[in-house]
Structure 1
């Protein structure tokens, strides 16, 4: 199996502007992915994704912010060192499609982490299962958000 990248794509009936807010703002991220989030959607800004009562905290660094088209960040830094260039990159590409938006999520960098093969395979499988859960939740949250407006 190839562990280069994970890609997921969905179409939602929401504008790219709304989708951009939902993938880049803490108050929305905590509704479909994490229990809490602390981040500023500014390139180079450090933040955190939080699960449970801080039981699991993932430091992140925002990479690209191009509203309403692109949002990306790095996470899973070796030993939590945000200055280490080895990390996983998550990119949300938002493309207008009809009256909605095509969301393309890509996570890359598994091979570049420097892990032994078994650890790469474990992380990859774990992240595949995670995105298989959270990408549909993103779509469901957007549907609820748009219908409430």
Structure 2
């Protein structure tokens, strides 16, 4: 198995503008992925993703924000320190209008570039892959609830 990138795609019955807000705004991200998020959808902005009562805190840095079509950020920095030269994982959400809704394509790359030993590379890749198998459907379910609420 090649541990290069993870890709997931989902169709949602929401506009690209609404979908962009849901993948890039703290109040929405915490509804489908994290327990709390602090970030601005501005390139270069630094924030954090929090699970549990600060049990797990992961710094993130926004790479690109082009509403309503693209949002990307880096995370999983070595020693959890945001350093521009550090290897890290890159998550990209590409939003494409499709019919009356939006196709959301999530890509996570950079696993091989992290410099992990083979066992850790496989473990991290499978952990993230399993995570996206859970969270991408939750993203779709949250968007469905959001757009159906009057």
**Does the 8 Å contact 2:14/2:144 carry over to 1?**
yes
Per the alignment, in what secondary structure is the counterpart of residue 123 of structure 2?
helix
Tell me what 1:134 maps to: 135
Structure 1 residue 36 corresponds to structure 2 residue 36? yes
Alpha-carbon RMSD: 0.6
What per-residue deviation string (whole Å, max 9, x for no partner) do you get for residues 19-74 of structure 1?
Answer: 00000000000000000000011100100000000000010000000000000000
Question: Aligned partners of 1:139 and 1:56: how far apart in 2?
Answer: 24
Tell me what 1:45 maps to: 45
Tell me what 1:13 maps to: 13
Tell me what 1:65 maps to: 65
Question: Aligned partners of 2:145 and 2:81: how far apart in 1?
Answer: 37
Structure 1, unpaired ranges of 5+:
none
After the TM superposition, which segments of 4 or more aligned residues of structure 1 sit over 4 Å from their partners? none
Deviation (angstroms), 1:85: 3.0
Question: Aligned partners of 1:85 and 1:44: how far apart in 2?
Answer: 15
Tell me what 2:95 maps to: 94
Tell me what 1:85 maps to: 86
Tell me what 1:3 maps to: 3
**Does the 8 Å contact 2:78/2:86 carry over to 1?**
no
Deviation (angstroms), 1:80: 1.4
Tell me what 1:104 maps to: 105
Aligned pair count? 149
Question: Aligned partners of 2:27 and 2:36: how far apart in 1?
Answer: 8
Per the alignment, in what secondary structure is the counterpart of residue 86 of structure 1?
coil
TM-score by length of 1: 0.99
TM-score by length of 2: 0.98
Deviation (angstroms), 1:81: 2.1
